[in-house]
């Protein structure tokens, strides 16, 4: 191929080296792109050159213009006309200041001096009475003059806003402070018609229009005035340093506040423009952190004036969505390193509370003309947004405490203090228009908005519900205690809330039918009486106020002294089938689907407040005086909460908020605990919601164990309801669930390889009969959770030789029983008995001083855990206060009656003491005897020097109860708890209350079903079910007294009570073994029977019964044996 055709392209594809059509098109396209890129690059380079050339030339012209401007200002200062000022001073000044400073977002030192000179010239001109020399007279001139004046004044306002925005009050120079002060004075003069000295009747209309336009522009977003004022106020010093402000800085602050309020005080602007200014105020100034504390006191009355507050409230109500979006944008624009900055909504909320409240003559109250309806609605809007901000912040940070939010020595929580004051709640409640609620469709979430004629109770409930939530999230130490204190002890407040809830949840038709049955059953035998007279004076502070408030919460009828006992006897009558359905409250069955937002806030506020009040209500007030609710109302409350919590947790879908569920669960549990201690509700009430729909036992157990331990949340966890509200299951079913937990645990241990063989993982224990506790402690205490595995016990007799026998479970049972019998004996010193008639066990405080005392208590916890794990019964019961610790529950004042009735009686007497308590000479100490010495223990720091007075006696009472119930046995309870939970999960124990725990440990009632025992008995040694002696035995057993039957059961099994689920769960099974005894012929002829006594082998639950021929003989020998308290040695 010749050279001219070598690089030619053939489209026929005759040669592989020739380019294809597609490749050719790609190559052409690439070359085209390269040429286009080169052209664009060249154009961009030319554009950049033009921009830089323009910037350079503009700056050069601006610098030259500034020099000429300064020269013109110096030469023509004495003969300035309005036109000359506009053309020679203002126009060039705006040009060079815009290009040299505004666009650079930084004002130069020379520009500061020029600005001061320009503003001084303008201020001098504006104050002139000669219209030819007054710059503002252009606003009343020709159309062109008015247009020029409007443009220039808007640019001047923008410039002044910029200067205020970049002004730093802490580091600004004297010249900058002067220039900024002049700038604000200029805006004030331009927007105040009183400063226009040349005004006449002929040009007033034009002047009014010009001022109106400027004020409208100043209130717009374009001017930047409010953004600049907000940024400036945010830079002001702390309150402790405000007094050192210079005169210029004070004038700047005063001028800034004046400008911020100018649109509110202008009568000539339209309402639409006023709303725009108010929106800017709410967006940039209202959310300034610690706004009221940064501004000088002399300026606060202007901010608090109704002409400012009312438009802000109206704007927040009308445009809250737009304003809250602005808040969110500002929050997101903040640096992530700012961890102590409160959100915009939180700052606005606290500032509004400070704006509408003021202190005068040592008392705080609302300022004059505050519209409480608008105030409450605005706070609710901001509080809801603030809660969202706090949750987002808490999710992104591992720790959050509102106590860290400070401004100088002032905490953010201090700004919210007015809402925790008595006068605040009283003012809101006084303005509530009673009887105006719209109850047409109270629980519907689709009902229309209410027509607010006045302040509604649901609005107040929403207000304080938000406050409780905010305090809980901000203050991790005290929580919502300040709010709950004032709500709980305000007379009539809880009654008002419950009255509204009762109308919503229990309609009138159900009250007239099923509800009336419940009322009559309790009230028909109650005697009328006068309740304690109301207190004549409200005590403002201290514990005495709380006690007085409890007596003033409601005026109830006082029952007879024996009314508490009467109630316990009569509640069983409320279990009739006709009224059981009434305890399953229908409006609460579908939970979140049927509860409106207003009802949700009412429920949350009621539950949180009443749960707090229940902490200090003693049994006399609850049962006898029935304060604040009657027992019938208490049952209604319990049924409502029981239905709500159960259905919300069972059908959990996350629609009910966590705060409501937490408060409802807490209040419900406190009512249930009180009912467990002293019954006021029928058992069917607690079972009613789950009577039909509760999951099966095995499914419930799997649901609970499937939930992760850190998943507990009343709003999300379905499985957690088993341990949160286990009372919806009957006690027998809860015992089955408990056994199901243990069964599943054994399966999981087997899958993990802990139970690979029949005896591979068992522990061999050799103990001496006379040292069973010490030997058991030495060999088993270090096992911890491994004690779940089986143990094989060998006994060493008194003579030092091993006892014959193999451990197939009986010896282990005997070993555990004997350890418990010896270690729980008060003579051993680890446990003691209460002074009550039940003589229940509680750790001996002197055990701390014994060798290995704490470790021994922990070991006994493992022994009890082992017994529960294996299903063995121990015939011991612990005091309620001690069991409460094991169940992870706190004990309160009324629990003291089960531990020390005399002390409880004295404390209650002290609580209701009418005289001067100082006469009793009490202080915050308690004297304890230990090892023969008296020790004085302070109930609080400095207790020796703190006398008990009427103001702090409630604190003393609860401190004393707390010491006796909690602090005194805390170390010992924790040790026992550690040992117990090595084998039994705390969540398993949560299935039961204190009395049920004792039943779980020691068995059922003090009697048993003889037929159940007969059906679960095996016979050995030659006996059968049809044997004559066996038939006589069952005949005699049926005729014994319940106490004698229990003694027989203890004689055989070492426990006087039957297993909770029946004798089929007794391990080993109950056995009757034949003891053959030959009676001499002459003895039989003479009517004599077998003389040998029955005996027992408790380790095998075996009764060794001789072959008696007569029922009378069998009964006499049996009673003699069981009353002799002996077993093997009888013969």
Cβ neighbours around 707 below 10 Å, total: 19
Whole-angstrom distance, CA of residue 1039 vs CA of residue 124: 118
Cβ neighbours around 980 below 10 Å, total: 21
Whole-angstrom distance, CA of residue 156 vs CA of residue 91: 10
Cβ neighbours around 497 below 10 Å, total: 23
Whole-angstrom distance, CA of residue 557 vs CA of residue 550: 14
3-state secondary structure 53-77: HHHHHHHHHHHHHHHHHHHHHHHCC
Q: Which of 282, 312, 1046, 1099 is catalytic?
A: 1099
Whole-angstrom distance, CA of residue 925 vs CA of residue 938: 4
Q: How many residues does the chain have?
A: 1131
1077 is catalytic: no
| Contact (CB, 8 A) for 146 and 206 | yes
Give 807-812 contacts, CB < 8 A, sequence gap 24+: 809/1067, 809/1068, 810/1068, 810/1097, 810/1099, 810/1100, 810/1101, 811/1099, 812/870
Q: Which of 721, 724, 719 is nearest to 706 (CA)?
A: 719
Q: Tell me, what DSSP letter sits at residue 802?
A: B
| Contact (CB, 8 A) for 211 and 191 | yes
Whole-angstrom distance, CA of residue 148 vs CA of residue 115: 20
Contacts of 932 (CB under 8 A, 6+ apart): none
Tokens of 433: 């228009």
| Contact (CB, 8 A) for 910 and 957 | yes
Whole-angstrom distance, CA of residue 292 vs CA of residue 165: 19
The owner of tokens 């069981």 is: 1122
Tokens of 1047: 């003694």
Tokens of 805: 């026998």
Tokens of 470: 């905010």
Burial of 657 (0-12, 13-18, 19+ CB in 10 A): middle
3-state secondary structure 170-205: CCCCHHHHHHHHHHHHHHHHHHCHHHCCCCCCCCHH
Q: Which of 305, 460, 435, 450 is nearest to 372 (CA)?
A: 460
Tokens of 250: 């004070």
Q: What is the β-pairing status of strands 831-833 and 841-843? A: antiparallel
Radius of gyration (Cα) for the chain, nearest Å?
43
Residue 13 backbone class (left: φ over 0; alpha: ψ -120 to 50; beta: rest): left
Whole-angstrom distance, CA of residue 76 vs CA of residue 451: 66
| Contact (CB, 8 A) for 897 and 904 | yes
- Which residues are tagged catalytic? 1099
């Amino acid at each position: 191929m010749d050279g001219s055709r070598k690089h030619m392209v053939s489209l026929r594809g005759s040669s592989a080296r020739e380019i294809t059509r597609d490749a050719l098109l790609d190559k052409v396209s690439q070359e085209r792109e390269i040429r286009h890129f080169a052209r664009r690059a060249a154009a961009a380079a030319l554009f950049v050159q033009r921009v830089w050339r323009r910037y350079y030339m503009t700056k050069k012209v601006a610098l030259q213009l500034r020099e000429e401007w300064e020269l013109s200002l110096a030469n023509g200062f004495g003969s300035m006309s309005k036109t000359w000022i506009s053309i020679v001073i203002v126009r060039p000044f705006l040009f060079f200041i815009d290009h040299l400073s505004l666009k650079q977002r930084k004002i130069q030192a020379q520009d500061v001096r020029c600005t001061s000179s320009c503003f001084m010239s303008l201020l001098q001109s504006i104050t002139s009475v000669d219209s030819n020399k007054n710059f503002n007279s252009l606003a009343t001139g020709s159309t062109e003059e008015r247009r020029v004046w409007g443009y220039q004044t808007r640019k001047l306002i923008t410039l002044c806003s910029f200067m205020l925005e970049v002004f730093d009050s802490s580091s600004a120079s004297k010249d900058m402070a002067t220039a900024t002060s002049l700038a604000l004075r200029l805006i004030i003069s331009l927007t105040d018609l009183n400063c226009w000295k040349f005004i006449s009747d002929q040009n007033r209309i034009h002047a009014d229009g010009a001022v109106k336009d400027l004020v409208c522009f100043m209130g717009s977003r374009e001017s930047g005035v409010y953004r600049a004022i907000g940024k400036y106020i945010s830079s002001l010093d702390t309150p402790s340093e405000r007094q050192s402000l210079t005169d210029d800085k004070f004038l700047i602050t005063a001028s800034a506040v004046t400008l911020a309020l100018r649109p509110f005080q202008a009568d000539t602007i339209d309402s639409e423009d006023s709303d725009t200014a108010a929106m800017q105020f709410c967006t940039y100034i209202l959310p300034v952190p610690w706004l009221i504390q940064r501004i000088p006191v002399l300026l606060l009355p202007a901010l608090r004036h109704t002409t400012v507050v009312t438009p802000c409230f109206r704007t927040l109500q009308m445009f809250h969505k737009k304003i809250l979006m602005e808040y969110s944008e500002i929050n997101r624009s903040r640096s992530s390193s700012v961890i102590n900055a409160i959100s915009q909504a939180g700052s606005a909320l606290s500032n509004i509370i400070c704006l509408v409240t003021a202190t005068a003559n040592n008392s705080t109250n609302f300022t004059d003309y505050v519209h409480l309806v608008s105030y409450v609605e605005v706070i609710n809007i901001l509080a809801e947004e603030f809660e969202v901000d706090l949750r987002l912040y808490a999710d992104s940070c591992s720790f959050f405490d509102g106590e860290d939010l400070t401004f100088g020595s002032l905490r953010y929580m201090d700004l919210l203090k007015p809402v925790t004051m008595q006068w605040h709640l009283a003012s809101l409640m006084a303005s509530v228009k009673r009887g105006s609620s719209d109850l047409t469709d109270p629980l519907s979430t689709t009902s229309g908005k209410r027509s607010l004629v006045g302040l509604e109770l649901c609005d107040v409930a929403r207000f304080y519900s938000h406050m409780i939530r905010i305090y809980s999230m901000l203050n991790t130490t005290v929580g919502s205690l300040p709010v709950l204190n004032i709500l709980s002890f305000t007379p009539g407040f809880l009654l008002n809330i419950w009255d509204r809830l009762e109308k919503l949840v229990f309609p009138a038709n159900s009250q007239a039918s099923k509800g009336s049955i419940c009322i009559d059953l309790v009230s028909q035998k109650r005697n009328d009486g006068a309740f304690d007279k109301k207190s004549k004076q409200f005590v403002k502070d201290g514990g005495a106020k709380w006690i007085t408030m409890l007596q003033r919460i409601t005026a109830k009828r006082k029952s007879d002294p024996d009314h508490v006992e009467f109630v316990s006897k009569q509640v069983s009558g409320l279990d009739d089938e006709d009224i059981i359905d009434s305890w399953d409250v229908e409006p609460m069955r579908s939970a979140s689907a049927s509860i409106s937002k207003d009802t949700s806030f009412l429920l949350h506020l009621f539950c949180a407040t009443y749960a707090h009040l229940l902490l200090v209500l003693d049994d006399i007030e609850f049962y006898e005086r029935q304060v604040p609710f009657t027992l019938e109302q208490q049952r209604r409350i319990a049924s409502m909460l029981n239905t709500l919590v159960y259905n919300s947790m069972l059908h959990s879908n996350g629609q009910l908020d966590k705060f409501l569920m937490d408060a409802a669960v807490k209040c419900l549990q406190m009512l249930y605990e009180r009912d467990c201690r002293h019954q006021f509700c029928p058992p069917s009430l607690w079972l009613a919601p789950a009577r039909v729909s509760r999951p099966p036992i095995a499914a419930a157990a799997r649901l609970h164990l499937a939930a992760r331990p850190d998943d507990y949340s009343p709003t999300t966890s379905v499985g957690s309801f088993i341990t949160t509200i286990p009372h919806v299951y009957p006690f027998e079913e809860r015992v089955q669930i408990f056994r199901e937990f243990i069964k599943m645990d054994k399966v999981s241990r087997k899958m993990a390889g802990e139970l690979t063989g029949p005896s591979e993982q068992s522990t061999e224990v050799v103990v001496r009969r006379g040292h069973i506790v010490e030997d058991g402690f030495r060999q088993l205490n270090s096992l911890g959770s491994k004690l779940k595995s089986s143990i094989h016990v060998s006994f060493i007799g008194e003579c030092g030789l091993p006892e014959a026998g193999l451990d197939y479970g009986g010896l282990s049972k005997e070993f555990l029983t004997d350890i418990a019998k010896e270690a729980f004996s008060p003579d051993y010193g680890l446990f003691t008995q209460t002074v009550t008639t039940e003589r229940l066990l509680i750790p001996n405080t002197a055990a701390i001083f014994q060798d290995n005392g704490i470790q021994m208590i922990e070991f006994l916890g493992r022994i009890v855990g082992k017994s529960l794990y294996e299903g063995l019964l121990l015939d011991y019961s612990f005091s309620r206060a001690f069991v409460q610790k094991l169940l992870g529950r706190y004990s309160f004042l009324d629990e003291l009656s089960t531990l020390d009735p005399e002390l409880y009686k004295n404390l209650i007497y002290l609580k209701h003491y009418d005289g001067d308590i100082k006469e009793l000479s009490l202080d915050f100490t308690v004297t304890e005897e230990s090892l023969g010495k008296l020790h004085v223990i302070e109930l609080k720091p400095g207790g020796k020097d703190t006398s008990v007075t009427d103001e702090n006696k409630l604190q003393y009472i609860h401190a004393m109860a707390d010491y006796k119930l909690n602090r005194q046995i805390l170390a010992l309870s924790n040790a026992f708890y550690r040992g117990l939970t090595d084998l039994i999960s705390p969540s398993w124990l949560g299935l039961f209350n204190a009395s049920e725990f004792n039943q779980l440990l020691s068995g059922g009632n003090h009697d048993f079903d003889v037929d159940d025992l007969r059906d679960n008995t095996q016979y050995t040694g030659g006996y059968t079910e049809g044997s004559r002696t066996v038939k006589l035995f069952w005949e005699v057993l049926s005729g014994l007294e319940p106490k004698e039957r229990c003694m027989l059961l203890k004689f055989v099994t070492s426990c006087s009570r039957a297993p909770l689920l029946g004798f089929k769960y007794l391990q080993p099974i109950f056995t009757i073994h034949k003891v053959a005894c030959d009676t001499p012929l002459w003895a039989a002829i003479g009517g004599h029977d077998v003389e040998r006594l029955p005996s027992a082998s408790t380790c095998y639950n075996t009764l060794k019964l001789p072959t008696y021929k007569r029922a009378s003989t069998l009964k006499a020998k049996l009673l003699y044996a069981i009353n002799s308290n002996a077993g093997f040695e009888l013969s």
